[in-house]
Chain A
Amino acid sequence: RKEVEQDPGPFNVPEGATVAFNCTYSNSASQSFFWYRQDCRKEPKLLMSVYSSGNEDGRFTAQLNRASQYISLLIRDSKLSDSATYLCVVNRLRTNNDMRFGAGTRLTVKP
């Protein structure tokens, strides 16, 4: 079993739709959580951190459920520019040297 699991998709949604991705992790000692965005053939970039109380950044909302060991990402009012692969990232340590990446969920937003 992979340490970080994501539904690979693809998710194909119309502009303006709300879409949600889930990610589960197996190590209960994990300490920090992130969503990264990766455009086709490009490098991953941090989209948002995920805090215990949940957090929002514009149209994006991230939630953490430690008891069930999953994190989620909700995108409201999808834009064409949201089309990308979204990587779930889990860290077991305080420093960056033990980041675990999910394989990614691919999102395509269509006109």
Chain B
Amino acid sequence: EAQVTQNPRYLITVTGKKLTVTCSQNMNHEYMSWYRQDPGLGLRQIYYSMNVEVTDKGDVPEGYKVSRKEKRNFPLILESPSPNQTSLYFCASSLRDRGSYNSPLHFGNGTRLTVT
């Protein structure tokens, strides 16, 4: 089954304790992206990657890191989480070169992070 898999689904942590949220897709997609969703704000892009070893900042990259060493994986790293990073996080992927009309975003099922 074609899918984007995120782990964990729920995570409660304390300020300053490094954490990683994993994202893996099995569709051979070049493009992957991380979003956070907060009430009233919609999804905001954190980082994205157009291909292996190519990553770029989105709109809200502060406090986050990513890596793209393999095509299928795109982990999100919070080196020193803070309470304002409490949010619902989604990973997404798509083909890169077919244009957005021909390659919709496929989302993972989300990670709800709480930082106390």
Can you list 26 A-B contacts (CB < 8 A)? A2-B42, A8-B40, A32-B99, A32-B101, A34-B104, A43-B90, A43-B108, A43-B109, A43-B110, A44-B43, A44-B105, A49-B104, A87-B42, A95-B99, A96-B31, A96-B94, A96-B96, A97-B33, A97-B45, A99-B45, A101-B42, A101-B43, A101-B44, A103-B40, A103-B42, A104-B42
Interface residues on B, range: 20 to 34
Q: Does the CB pair A94–B33 fall under 8 Å?
A: no
A40 to B56, CA, bound (A): 30
**Chain A CB within 8 A of B84 CB:** no
- The residue in chain A whose Cβ has the minimal distance to the Cβ of B38 is A103
CB < 8 Å neighbour of B103 from A2, A96, A102, A103:
A96
Q: Does the CB pair B109–A97 fall under 8 Å?
A: no
Q: Does the CB pair B105–A41 fall under 8 Å?
A: no
- The residue in chain B whose Cβ has the minimal distance to the Cβ of A3 is B42
**Chain B CB within 8 A of A46 CB:** yes
**Chain B CB within 8 A of A45 CB:** yes
**Chain B CB within 8 A of A1 CB:** no
Which A residues are closer than 8 A to B by beta carbons? 2, 4, 8, 31-32, 34, 41-46, 49, 51, 87, 91, 93-97, 99-104
Which B residues are closer than 8 A to A by beta carbons? 31, 33, 35, 40-45, 48, 50, 56, 90, 94, 96-97, 99-101, 103-105, 107-110
